[in-house]
A = this chain, B = another copy of it.
Amino acid sequence: MSEENWFDAIEVGDCFHSEVEIEVTAEAIIAFAETYDPQPGHLSEELAKATPFKGLAASGWHTAAITMRLLAETGWTDTIGLGVSLKWPTATRPGDHLRLEGRITSKRLSESRPDTAILGIEYTTLNHDGEVRQITEATVMATSTFHVPLHRD
C-alpha cells in the first residue's frame, strides 16, 4: 500500500471498540498495587474500607494498563504514544468486566516526517454496567504499518 493510501484509509470520526471484555479480579488489583501502587485503597479489602473508596479499588494506573490492552484488542497497533490525558470518573472495582469504545478525532501528516501521521484519538473504558472508569485523549504517531482497527463500528 502506498504512503498516500494508508493515510487516506484513516478517517476522522471512525469509531472502534474492543471485541473482548477483561474481567478485573481482586487478586489482580492487589497484585498490581503491590508492584506499582502500594496505597491502602488498592492493597486489601480491609485496608480499603477506611479510604474514600470504602472498599477495594484498582489503581488508576492499573485501569490505564488494562485500557491499553483493550485498545490492542480493537486491532489497534503500531502507533507510538506522544502524550495522553486521563480522567478517572470512577474507580475500577473487583468483578468489573471492562471494555473500550474509541474514535479517531484528528489526523495530519507530520511536517518534519512526511511518512508519519499524527493522530488524535479518544477512548472510554466502561464496565459491564456502562459505568465510565477512564476517559483517555491521546496523540499518537503512526506510519505505513498502521492498520485501521479491525472492529470498526
Contacts from A to B (Cβ < 8 Å): 32, 35-41, 51-53, 59-62, 64-66, 68-69, 72, 77-78, 80-88, 141, 143
Contact = CB atoms under 8 A, between A and B. Distances in A.
A85 B84 contact: yes
Given A80-B52, A84-B85, A88-B83, A69 B143 contact: no
Given A61-B64, A141-B52, A39 B78 contact: yes
Nearest to A35: B69
Contacts of A85: 83-86
Contacts of A60: 81, 84
Contacts of A143: 52
A74 to B, nearest CB: 13
Given A37-B69, A64-B64, 5 more contacts: A41-B80, A52-B80, A60-B84, A62-B65, A85-B85
A83 B84 CA distance: 11
Contacts of A39: 72, 77-78
Nearest to A69: B36
Shortest 4 CB-CB distances between A and B: which pairs? A85-B85, A36-B65, A83-B87, A61-B68
